Structure 1
Amino acid sequence: MARALKVAAAQVGPVHRSTSRAEVLARLIKLVEGAASQGVQLVVFPETTFTTFFPRYYITDDKELANYYEYETEETGPVTETKNVKEFFDHAKALCVDVQVGYGEDTGKGRYNTAVYVSGATGKVLNKYRKVHLPGSTEPFDLEPTTTNQLEKRYFLPGNFGFQAFRASSLKEHCGGTSPIVGQLICNDRRWAEGWRCYGLQGVEILCCGYNTTAYAPQLWGGDQNISREKAYEEAMFHHKLVVQAHAYTNSMFCITAARAGNDDGRHPLIPGSMIVDPEGHIVAESKTEDDELVIAVIDLDDCKQGKERTFNLGKHRRPELYGRLVEGGGVQPPPDE
């Protein structure tokens, strides 16, 4: 294995609305330590890792809402230096483990659903990504406390960094002297083909994606609200795996997906499904629980070559001159009905 890496998806179990930041950090640090003890070089954590998934709630208390974000400005420095979470990043650096982790970012001028990739060798942020495809709405459709709302459009601005790949120079020595090419997505982004193709066109070899995906929220889906919990869970897991496996295959890259899983507050279930998928779309490792868990695999980045050079040789087989419709408009434009 010429360009071998040992990687992990760090699944995180239930984090309740009342769970303290200190408790969450202790659990995350334990996962990093467990990964380092097994020789892992890169660990991918979920979306909004440091808190519960707060966009499910209609929050009117500004002080509570502010607590779910990391305040990150030019004056405060990067998230790795903010007082709430610095301890986590310091541990990752001490263990020399690269981490990708998601969080709510407050710039003082706007709030975003963000993920950073941080070098274990230097503790520096190598890349920052902001979630592009925000689901849900700005207003709650139901104020019943047991209802799972989806208010990301209320609490976040759409990401404005686009889909910019980067080199994980911190992993260069493990990959035959060539730094891996990495891309990032967050949760709902994985359902949209456009981001994946943008990364495929940059030669991405490792796609990192953290997510929080509800296992049962019939009010969100519309249609049949009498769907059983078992069927809803089955459908959510099916679609999660479908899009990750398909897009990893069609863009010839590995994908590491990390879930916030379990039943938050006893009434907001989230699917697990943390997994590592290879460039042929096969699941090579996946979670077995809905709790804190490391999903570990050794991957060889040279396995991306077959797809990139043959089946999905984008430079050889694409016809971009015919794809204008993909960027000409944002919605469906059916042909005229004569």
Structure 2
Amino acid sequence: MTSFRVAALQMRSGTDPQANLTAFEALVREAAGSGAVYVQSPEMTGVLVRGREALMERITTADKDPLVRRASELARELSVFIHIGSTAVLLEDGRVANRAFLFGAEGELIATYDKIHMFDVDLDNGESWRESATYAPGDRAVVAQLPFMNLGLAICYDVRFPQLFRAQALAGADVLAIPAAFTRQTGEAHWHVLQRARAIENGAWVIAAAQGGRHEDGRETYGHTLIVDPWGRIVADAGNDEPGIVVAEIDVSASADARRKIPNLKNARDFIPPSPVGAEVMA
């Protein structure tokens, strides 16, 4: 099939992993009941908490994580593909991975992806984030082959690095997954335009489940879960920061059609980069 229904969950994950799991399951069931065959949750579905110590008290390894286990069970029970946009899992070396999990309709693990780009930034409103102080960055781009789409996996801040999505598109991705927990400040400025740009540049669908609202740890996220078509048109937008689901019918043949009309993937050429501005020009 080229046309199918997808759902993206908008959540307000807090500091209690069990409460987040309960909210996740309720939304997954609602999404499956709507006819979605693919369900995506946002970044940090399992827990959203400030501080390394508080985080470490609440997470475990992937093989013991209740959210990961339950997502597999729900995929099998509901016969849907479930994509945990990301959750924090403990690594053997004591560091943490911000990891996505994709399960097939029989509950099998199809793919994982560790967030590559770390959000290390000081914002104008006084917020400061240093993901690299806690998380080990991934080093591998992933395209997962599903029966009805080829899905490029990314997480939140990755959206600002177009080379990742270009590599996925060239590898055959016709849908890009960009689940996120965008801050309200950056979301209001850039969320919609970045998601639309990644769709347009690559002639691909974009599905972006989001965290939204004021969380228990005090942070605010933007919400506005989106589904964007390969021409850059927004076909579904939560329109707010409240928990819920966004559902849309997508047709992956629209990706091939967009790439025929704007064949930039084929027309790209290698080039010699410029010297840094101010660098001495060698004769």
Question: TM-score under structure 2 normalisation?
Answer: 0.89
Answer with 1 or 2: which has the greater Rg. Answer: 1
CA distance in 2, matches of 1:84, 1:284: 29
Aligned to 1:188: 157
CA distance in 2, matches of 1:333, 1:70: 44
TM-aligned CA distance change 1:238 to 1:284, over 3 Å: farther
Unaligned 5+ segments in structure 1 are: 216-231, 327-331
Aligned to 2:203: 252
Instruction: Give yes or no for the alignment of 1:112 onto 2:93.
Output: no
Aligned to 2:173: 204
TM-aligned CA distance change 1:182 to 1:45, over 3 Å: same
Aligned to 1:4: 3
Counterparts of 1:84-95 in structure 2, within 5 Å, are 85-95=68-78
Give the counterpart letter for 1:198 in structure 2: A
TM-aligned CA distance change 1:313 to 1:151, over 3 Å: closer
Aligned to 1:16: 14
| CA RMSD, 1 decimal | 2.4
Instruction: Give yes or no for the alignment of 1:275 onto 2:274.
Output: no
Aligned to 1:290: 241
- Does the aligned pair in 1 maintain the 2:59–2:65 contact within 8 Å? no
CA distance in 1, matches of 2:172, 2:109: 21
- Does the aligned pair in 2 maintain the 1:25–1:88 contact within 8 Å? no
Q: 1:211-238: CA deviations, max 9, x gaps?
A: 11111xxxxxxxxxxxxxxxx4xx6334
Per the TM alignment, residue 38 of structure 1 is displaced from its structure 2 partner at its CA by 1.0
Aligned to 2:276: 333
CA distance in 1, matches of 2:173, 2:203: 8
Q: 1:124-165: CA deviations, max 9, x gaps?
A: 11111111110116xx99xxxx9643121111011122x121
Counterparts of 1:151-170 in structure 2, within 5 Å, are 151-161=130-140, 163-168=141-146
CA distance in 2, matches of 1:93, 1:199: 28
Instruction: Give yes or no for the alignment of 1:33 onto 2:29.
Output: yes
**Per the alignment, in what secondary structure is the counterpart of residue 70 of structure 1?**
coil
Identity %: 22
Per the TM alignment, residue 313 of structure 1 is displaced from its structure 2 partner at its CA by 4.7
Counterpart among 96, 102, 119 of residue 135 in structure 1: 119
Per the TM alignment, residue 83 of structure 1 is displaced from its structure 2 partner at its CA by 3.9
Tell me the number of residue pairs that the alignment of Structure 1 and Structure 2 aligns: 278
Per the TM alignment, residue 188 of structure 1 is displaced from its structure 2 partner at its CA by 0.3
Unaligned 5+ segments in structure 2 are: none
CA distance in 1, matches of 2:68, 2:79: 17
**Per the alignment, in what secondary structure is the counterpart of residue 165 of structure 1?**
strand
Moved over 4 A (4+): none
Aligned to 1:82: 65
**Per the alignment, in what secondary structure is the counterpart of residue 276 of structure 1?**
strand
- Does the aligned pair in 1 maintain the 2:9–2:42 contact within 8 Å? yes
Per the TM alignment, residue 307 of structure 1 is displaced from its structure 2 partner at its CA by 2.4
Question: TM-score under structure 1 normalisation?
Answer: 0.76
CA distance in 2, matches of 1:16, 1:22: 10
CA distance in 2, matches of 1:242, 1:189: 14
CA distance in 1, matches of 2:265, 2:58: 41
**Per the alignment, in what secondary structure is the counterpart of residue 288 of structure 1?**
coil
Q: 1:159-197: CA deviations, max 9, x gaps?
A: 122x121211xxx2xx4xxxx111011000011111111
Q: 1:231-283: CA deviations, max 9, x gaps?
A: x4xx6334111111011111011010011111013732110120100000010
Give the counterpart letter for 1:106 in structure 2: L
CA distance in 1, matches of 2:76, 2:145: 18
**Per the alignment, in what secondary structure is the counterpart of residue 247 of structure 2?**
strand
CA distance in 1, matches of 2:217, 2:87: 22
Per the TM alignment, residue 66 of structure 1 is displaced from its structure 2 partner at its CA by 1.9
**Per the alignment, in what secondary structure is the counterpart of residue 166 of structure 2?**
helix
